[in-house]
């Protein structure tokens, strides 16, 4: 049934069966002779139908793995992807005492950094109140108490605060690109996927605004589309960043770019 809509149909079906029964795969394997109770069977069929219509498994389960932990996810936030783990790994290479994440969504990046650096102060912003509700729930469930969530557009909620590290996975898909209208992405929030200027608008705002919010020698890391590396490096250079570099994802695509803010006179 799911083969027509998913490349991982068997895995999807197993996850949904677990959600319907409340049993782990190990529990089900231990008692293969035990039939499904009628309520569980109805729940399972309902979940299969929703998956067949394209709803992502993560939304159907209400959770998704990221790094070494699990997050609550709802249609108010993007489903965390493995590419974003590379962004966290790059950020963790140099310790930071004050960190800002822009467009936090589920909170996956800020929470990963907060878990790694429990003595750091982590601020995270998002314009969506619904997304911040999810991020707050995840922080509470994972015991991350050094994270402050703020509602507003990009840097607006933090005023004149400065940081050692700014990190972001902003929307970077252009208005005419087809990906958000295909597959699981159809169910994800548009504002977290699409950006004007061929997908570069949010990236430009973040890079141009970093000077007012980074300490001297502070670092900025952003995730971007696989064809956007040259433009992002150009933006970084224009804003005086040094040691600019781009990292590739597991597919070999340029995916993460960043640099170090050079010493300057604060305005």
By the 8 A CB rule, do 115 and 173 touch? Answer: no
32 is in an annotated binding site: no
In the chain, alpha helices (H)? 9-21, 25-30, 38-52, 57-61, 82-91, 108-116, 129-141, 201-209, 229-238
168 is in an annotated binding site: no
163 is in an annotated binding site: no
**Helices 108-116 & 82-91, crossing angle to 10 degrees?**
40
172 is in an annotated binding site: yes
35 is in an annotated binding site: no
170 is in an annotated binding site: yes
Q: Given its phi and psi angles, is residue 46 left (phi above 0), alpha (psi -120 to 50 degrees) or beta? A: alpha
Per the listing, tokens 């607006």 go with 156
Tokens of 59: 């939304």
240 is in an annotated binding site: no
41 is in an annotated binding site: no
| Cα dist from 219 to 103, 158, 211, whole Å | 17, 17, 10
106 is in an annotated binding site: yes
104 is in an annotated binding site: yes
Q: Indicate the Cα dihedral angle 88, 229, 78, 180, nearest 10°.
A: -160
CB-count exposure of residue 148 (10 Å: 0-12, 13-18, 19+): middle
Short-list 170, 240, 230, CA closest to 208:
240
221 is in an annotated binding site: no
Tokens of 214: 């980074």
Residues paired with residue 187 on neighbouring β-strands, in sequence order = none
Q: Residues marked as binding for S-adenosyl-L-methionine?
A: 103-107, 126, 154, 169
Q: Residues marked as binding for substrate?
A: 169-172
Q: Residues marked as binding?
A: 103-107, 126, 154, 169-172
């Amino acid at each position: 049934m799911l083969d027509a809509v998913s490349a991982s149909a068997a895995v999807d079906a197993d996850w949904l069966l677990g959600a319907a029964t409340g049993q782990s795969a190990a529990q089900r394997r231990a008692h293969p002779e035990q039939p499904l109770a009628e309520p569980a069977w109805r729940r399972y069929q309902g979940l299969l139908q929703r998956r067949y219509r394209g709803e992502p498994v993560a939304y159907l389960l209400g959770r998704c793995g990221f790094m070494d932990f699990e997050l609550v996810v709802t249609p108010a936030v993007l489903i965390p992807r493995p590419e974003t783990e590379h962004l966290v790994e790059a950020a963790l290479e140099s310790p930071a005492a004050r960190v800002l994440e822009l467009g936090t969504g589920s909170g996956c990046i800020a929470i990963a950094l907060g878990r790694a650096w429990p003595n750091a102060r982590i601020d995270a912003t998002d314009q969506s109140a619904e997304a911040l509700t999810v991020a707050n729930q995840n922080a509470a469930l994972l015991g991350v108490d050094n994270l402050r969530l703020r509602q507003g557009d990009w840097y607006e909620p933090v005023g004149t605060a400065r940081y050692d590290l700014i990190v972001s996975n902003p929307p970077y898909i252009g208005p005419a690109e087809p990906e958000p209208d295909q597959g699981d992405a159809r169910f994800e929030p548009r504002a977290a996927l699409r950006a004007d200027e061929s997908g570069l608008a949010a990236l430009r705002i973040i890079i141009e605004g970093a000077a007012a919010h980074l300490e001297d020698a502070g670092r900025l890391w952003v995730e971007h589309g696989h064809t956007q590396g040259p433009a992002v490096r150009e933006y970084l250079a224009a804003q005086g960043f040094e040691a600019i570099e781009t990292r590739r994802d597991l597919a070999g695509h340029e995916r993460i770019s960043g640099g170090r803010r050079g010493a300057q006179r604060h305005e």
